[in-house]
Amino acid sequence: MSFTLHGAAAGGGIAIGQAHLISSARLEVAHYAIAPEKTELEVMRLSTAVDKVRAELQELRRSVPAGAPAELGAFLSLHLMILDDAMLSHAPRELIRSMRCNAEWALVLQMDQLVAQFDKIEDSYLRERKADVVQVVERVLKAMQNQRGHPSPASAHEESMVVVAHDLSPADMMLFKQHQYAGFVTDLGGVTSHTAILARSLDIPAIVGAHTARRMVREGELVIVDGVHGVLIVDPDELVLAEYQKRQRELEQRRQKLKRIRSTPATTMDGTAVDLHANIELPQDVEQARKSGATGVGLFRSEFLFLNRDDLPGEDEQFEAYRMVARAMDGMPVTIRTLDLGADKTVNGSARGGPNPAMGLRAIRLCLAEPQMFMAQLRAILRASHYGKIRLLIPMLAHAHEILQSLAMIDRARALLDAQGLPYDREMKIGGMIEVPAAALALGVFVRKLDFLSIGTNDLIQYTLAIDRTDDNVSHLYDPLHPAVLHLIAHTIKTGARMKVPVAVCGEMAGDATLTRLLLGFGLRQFSMHPANLLAIKQQVLKSDLRDLTQPANKILRCEDPEKAKRLLEKLNA
């Protein structure tokens, strides 16, 4: 039966394909059916992996050194207990037999159930133990991955599959970079959650906040993902299917046409040059950035180097990564943002920080609390600056002392490199992100102490309107046109221009073609966005005349009625 679900549009375009249900993509397991005569073999595969992990944990417990903290032994015993609990050791075997599914799938299904039970526990210590359950399951999955001769997952036809999940973390989305799925749908998530941002960076149609998709859609069902309007159509009839196939072809034609302006300089009709830079998450994204015609990297979200791994990348590994990007951009600016870990981006094994992670020890707050980790990154960035035009960008600043402490740390890193005779760019520019309303309202110290500013509109909107960007329950309140948001953005751009401190916008607003003229009218000349959006923004720049924009932009800025502001924006874009 055909039905439609609505969510938030998180990645443009239209995808048509078979639904592929994912339980917990962080564990990114394959989901495939097992032939009836092979189910016992599959059960054995699981048992062998569990035995192997048990032996590993026992060995680890035996080798705990005498002086080690008592918690270490207790922690390993807890993991052994979890491993042998019937919910994990027995139930998945039954699932393999009854559902005829592969062992990984059964294990993750069972884990999801357990985790859901933990979520209901009142006691916060016990509730947090769900992280241990996940870790144990990950160990078993890893053991299965390493088994020789294990059948290859059903990864064939990925291009015609649409992933449907309850929730995907940013770390999960990173894993999908290695895949070629046609589209994504998640029940949870806001439009500017990092999960949605990464879906856009994959340049495939995506919907977040579809609420019940994971429950209502069946494996293998034909679905249409309209990533432009945030609509999911399940089991469409022939007419609807034909209509969407037509729209898909039209969108593709438009995309191909846009490629023609790839190497056209981004200059307005009145001759003003505008910088269009790319946002990247991993060094390999630089290829897509170059292909899009970006004239620099305006935001390298360096924390993504830290996800999906059990250890932290050291100074040398980071240095190699940053140097690779600097070299690949061949003299064009590369803006490396220092670690923005915390909130929805956590490293393996660490729990989400504090009762309210978005307001907790995140980004620069975390870095200043962990000077050793911060210093390794600062040294790596400085060393890489010798090989290209690197700029360093500090996220989530709010206080003068955070700026001063960060600058002092950078000076210390320089002194250490000098003492070792290691080269770095002595002119490397240092900038700060304007993402907290307090920063936008107290710009004095920012423009005095920093070389450039970059407005992170995703967080600026989150903190100005008090809406958690990862929570789809409040995503209808996300409004880039809210007068308070526009005021903070315009004020920052205008103050930067007056004080001769360059200002960029690197949040999702920069990649929204309906807002390009408004931002140009406020005086913005540097935009940084996902490469997939770059040509559409360039098209807007090419057909804009700044002389026509300032007055209407200021009118929108003064407008307190949201509906009227929308109408004025439509007029500006007409």
Catalytic residues: 194, 506
Residue 335 in contact with ligand PEP, rule: CB under 6 A: no
Shortest approach of Mg ion to residue 434 CB, angstroms? Answer: 10
CA–CA distance, 274 with 124 (Å, rounded to integer): 50
Shortest approach of Mg ion to residue 36 CB, angstroms? Answer: 51
Contacting ligand PEP (CB under 6 A), which of 288, 335, 458, 475? 458
Residue 340 in contact with ligand PEP, rule: CB under 6 A: yes
CB under 5 to 8 A by kind: which of ligand PEP, Mg ion, none does 450 bind? none
Which among 214, 252, 248, 251 is positioned nearest to 234, based on CA atoms? Answer: 214
CA–CA distance, 335 with 315 (Å, rounded to integer): 18
Which among 332, 323, 324, 321 is positioned nearest to 292, based on CA atoms? Answer: 332
Residue 456 in contact with Mg ion, rule: CB under 5 A: yes
User: Could you tell me where the beta strands, DSSP code E, fall in 187-267?
Assistant: 206-208, 222-226, 231-234
Residue 344 in contact with ligand PEP, rule: CB under 6 A: no
Cβ closer to ligand PEP: 43 or 490?
490
CB under 5 to 8 A by kind: which of Mg ion, ligand PEP, none does 285 bind? none
Alpha-carbon torsion 306, 310, 315, 318, what sign? Answer: negative
Cβ closer to ligand PEP: 139 or 194?
194
CB under 5 to 8 A by kind: which of ligand PEP, Mg ion, none does 457 bind? ligand PEP
Q: Are 532 and 543 in contact (CB under 8 A)?
A: no
Q: Are 30 and 219 in contact (CB under 8 A)?
A: no
Tokens of 228: 């432009």
C-alpha dihedral over 237, 240, 246, 251, to 10 degrees?
-120
Shortest approach of Mg ion to residue 507 CB, angstroms? Answer: 7
Cβ closer to ligand PEP: 27 or 366?
366
Shortest approach of ligand PEP to residue 299 CB, angstroms? Answer: 6
Contacting ligand PEP (CB under 6 A), which of 42, 104, 226, 459? 459
Which among 207, 209, 282, 94 is positioned nearest to 467, based on CA atoms? Answer: 209
CB under 5 to 8 A by kind: which of ligand PEP, Mg ion, none does 301 bind? ligand PEP
Site for Mg ion in 457-516 (CB under 5 A): 459
CA distances from 190 to 168, 193, 308, 478 (A): 11, 5, 22, 9
Cβ closer to Mg ion: 431 or 456?
456
Cβ closer to Mg ion: 43 or 506?
506
CA–CA distance, 441 with 460 (Å, rounded to integer): 12
Cβ closer to ligand PEP: 7 or 507?
507
Residue 333 in contact with Mg ion, rule: CB under 5 A: no
Shortest approach of ligand PEP to residue 304 CB, angstroms? Answer: 9
Site for ligand PEP in 428-457 (CB under 6 A): 435, 456-457
SS3 210: coil
Name the β-bridge partners of 276.
Answer: 527
Q: Total binding residues for Mg ion by CB under 5 A? A: 3
Shortest approach of ligand PEP to residue 174 CB, angstroms? Answer: 13
Shortest approach of ligand PEP to residue 201 CB, angstroms? Answer: 11
The two beta strands, 231-234 and 222-226, are antiparallel
Site for ligand PEP in 201-260 (CB under 6 A): none
Q: Are 16 and 222 in contact (CB under 8 A)?
A: yes
CA distances from 453 to 334, 396, 398, 429, 554 (A): 14, 12, 13, 11, 22
Cβ closer to Mg ion: 202 or 506?
506
CA–CA distance, 538 with 550 (Å, rounded to integer): 19
Helices (H), 146-237: 170-176, 194-201, 213-216
Binding mask 294-323 for ligand PEP (x = CB under 6 A): -----x-x----------------------
Longest dimension (CA), the chain: 75
CB under 5 to 8 A by kind: which of ligand PEP, Mg ion, none does 28 bind? none
Site for ligand PEP in 500-519 (CB under 6 A): 506-507
CB under 5 to 8 A by kind: which of Mg ion, ligand PEP, none does 515 bind? none
Shortest approach of ligand PEP to residue 462 CB, angstroms? Answer: 7
Query: Where do contacts with ligand PEP occur on this chain (CB under 6 A)?
Result: 197, 299, 301, 340, 435, 456-459, 506-507
Query: Where do contacts with Mg ion occur on this chain (CB under 5 A)?
Result: 435, 456, 459
